[in-house]
Amino acid sequence: MKNCKFSLLVFCISFFCFLLVSNQACRWHNHTKQTYSHKQSHISPRPCSLPDPTTPPEEPPTKPYHSSGIFDVRSFGAVGDGQTDDTVAFKMAWDTACQSDESAARILVPQGFSFMIQSTIFTGPCLGGLVLQVDGTLVPPDGPGSWPKHISRHQWLVFYRINEMSLQGGGVIDGRGEKWWNLPCKPHRAIRFFMSSNLTVQGLKIKNSPQFHFRFDSCRNVHIESISISSPAKSPNTDGIHIEKTYDVQIYNSVISNGDDCVSIGSGCYDVNIRNLTCGPGHGISIGSLGNHNSRACVSNITVRDSIMKGTDNGVRIKTWQGGSGSVSGVTFSNIHMDNVRNPIMIDQYYCLTKRCTNQTSAVFVSDILYSNIKGTYDVRSSPMHFACSDALPCTNLTLSEVELLPAVRYKVSDPYCWNAYGELLTRTIPPVSCLLDGVPRSLLGHEIERC
């Protein structure tokens, strides 16, 4: 019995020693393996989902994407530092959004960035409506020295054959025109819509275009609202908004100060409504010039009302060249305040940019023009009302009501000027207009007038 107990004790002690030695061996073996692995073994590349914390992973190329119909130009590679050429990124964003089946795809120009774009044509038609949301800044190359020689200098951003588009936002479109204005060459226009329809321009600030800030050619159903256009008073040919062969136009609640016409209305325009526009400095609101190079011009159903002309060279003006044909008719200027305007009311059918224009027998026929509730002050260097109509084709049916215009400084009130102008006064005017002719001119009796 004692031998058994002794044998059991010896066995337990031996087993315990064996376990102790084995554990030490395992610990030494594992440590050696770790050390060996650290120094010698080849580690396979980690998957992309587990980047090495000691080395920042390379950014994969940004792929075009959109979320909820929004196409951020940065997702297409635009940088927005004002110097990098972002033209390709904008074109990619446009093409992608244009072919999107979203009901109203939105191209986002984000706030806080300035994007430089070369001369570009954004082309339609698109699959659906499109919104270009400009919350940042858009700029062209900085002056003629930076403008690529192989790219046309006559236009910058062109939207062609677009149906149902909105150009909107709280951002800025800066034409960088300062380096162009004193050059003899004709610089580019900032923004042009061509052969497009159902357009909206809203909320933007546009400044310093080398020439026209906005131009609409052969467009239909254009709505412009709550925009600001600005360039210096001496910047040449910087019309705020010019429309040509465009109809169903509304221009509302906007401020324009520039070096030329705030709004100019060219041939082929009709059904144009301008309301609550503040203009100045600049050349006022003009219909024309029309009939240049003996061309035919047609303008009708134009209304300008509830607006302010402040320090402008002209207020409301119709200007035509000698030798033209066609007609201007159905025009209403109503409820307009003049503040120190040089030519508040003007019809000039002898418009000429040089002293070499010759007298011609044909002219654009001007008729059915209403001036109602036009009040304020005028610059004494010119007559407050100037009706210079064609010798061969007099102006007819000019109507004045509640027109009161006084000199801006204490000075003798100037008389209105009339030449071959026929019309009537519905109320007394200040100053009195005694030069308008009554009735129908004899030269028109028995003659069929060419109207549009």
**pLDDT higher than 90, residue 47:** no
Amino acid of residue 89: A
Q: Mean of the per-residue pLDDT values for the chain?
A: 86
Please give the Cα distance from 390 to 42 (Å, whole number): 95
Do 293 and 399 fall within a single domain? yes
Do 252 and 335 fall within a single domain? no
Do 197 and 301 fall within a single domain? no
**pLDDT higher than 50, residue 194:** yes
**pLDDT higher than 80, residue 291:** yes
Length of the chain: 452
In the structure encoding, which two tokens stand for residue 341, read together? 């305007």
Q: Is residue 265 part of a domain?
A: no
Structure confidence at residue 446 as a pLDDT band (50, 70, 90):
low
Structure confidence at residue 338 as a pLDDT band (50, 70, 90):
very high
Q: Which of 231, 260, 289 is the last residue of a domain?
A: 260
Instruction: Provide the domain count of the chain.
Output: 2
Q: Is residue 378 classed exposed, middle or buried when 0-12, 13-18 and 19+ CB atoms within 10 A define those classes?
A: buried
Amino acid of residue 19: L
What is the edge-to-edge ordering of all strands in the sheet holding 214-217? Answer: 120-123, 155-160, 189-194, 214-217, 241-244, 263-265, 285-290, 314-320, 343-348, 385-388, 417-419
Domain hosting 359: range is 272-452
378 — phi, psi (to 5°)?
Answer: -130, 155
Q: Which of 210, 235, 260 is the last residue of a domain?
A: 260
Q: Is residue 360 part of a domain?
A: yes
- pLDDT for 408: 93
355 vs 213, higher pLDDT: 213
- pLDDT for 24: 41
Average confidence (pLDDT) over 202-206: 98
Structure confidence at residue 103 as a pLDDT band (50, 70, 90):
confident
438 vs 102, higher pLDDT: 438
Instruction: Of 11-20, 42-51, 198-207, give the range with the top mean pLDDT.
Output: 198-207
- pLDDT for 174: 97
Q: Residues 356-373: pLDDT tens digits? A: 888 898 999 999 999 999
Average confidence (pLDDT) over 72-95: 97
Average confidence (pLDDT) over 196-222: 97
Q: Which of 66, 213, 283, 337 is catalytic?
A: 283
Do 191 and 336 fall within a single domain? no
Q: Is residue 352 part of a domain?
A: yes
- Note whether 217 and 246 are within 8 A (CB): yes
DSSP string, 19-81: HHHHHHHHHHHHHHHHHHHHHHPPPPPPPTTS--TTSPPPPPPPPP--BTTEEEGGGGT---E
- pLDDT for 25: 38
Q: Is residue 367 part of a domain?
A: yes
Q: Residues 412-431: pLDDT tens digits? A: 788 999 999 999 999 999 99
- pLDDT for 34: 35
Average confidence (pLDDT) over 287-308: 97
Q: Do the strands 129-134 and 104-109 form a parallel or antiparallel pair, or are they unpaired?
A: parallel
Please give the Cα distance from 398 to 405 (Å, whole number): 17
In the structure encoding, which two tokens stand for residue 440, read together? 């129908």
- pLDDT for 71: 96
- pLDDT for 447: 66
Do 226 and 358 fall within a single domain? no
Do 289 and 419 fall within a single domain? yes
207 vs 10, higher pLDDT: 207
Do 331 and 381 fall within a single domain? yes
Please give the Cα distance from 24 to 19 (Å, whole number): 9
**3-state DSSP call for residue 352?**
coil
- Note whether 284 and 307 are within 8 A (CB): no
Do 349 and 214 fall within a single domain? no
Peptide bond just before 236 cis, omega within 30 deg: no
Amino acid of residue 361: T
Q: Is residue 447 part of a domain?
A: yes
- Note whether 151 and 144 are within 8 A (CB): no
283 is catalytic: yes
Do 234 and 92 fall within a single domain? yes
Q: Which of 238, 260, 282 is the last residue of a domain?
A: 260
Q: Residues 380-423: pLDDT tens digits? A: 989 999 999 999 899 999 999 999 999 998 877 889 999 999 99
- pLDDT for 319: 98
Do 325 and 185 fall within a single domain? no
In the structure encoding, which two tokens stand for residue 160, read together? 């062609």
Half-sphere exposure of 345 (CA within 13 A, CB side): 36
Domain with residue 318: its CATH number is: 2.160.20.10
- pLDDT for 104: 81
DSSP string, 71-105: EEGGGGT---EEEEE-HHHHHHHHHHHHT--STEE
**pLDDT higher than 60, residue 325:** yes
Q: Is residue 420 part of a domain?
A: yes
Q: Is residue 33 part of a domain?
A: no
Q: Is residue 137 part of a domain?
A: yes
**pLDDT higher than 80, residue 11:** no
Q: Which residues contact 248 (CB under 8 A, 6 or more apart)?
A: 220, 221, 222, 271
Do 139 and 185 fall within a single domain? yes
Q: Residues 120-178: pLDDT tens digits? A: 999 999 999 999 999 999 999 998 888 888 887 889 999 999 999 999 999 999 999 99
Do 254 and 292 fall within a single domain? no
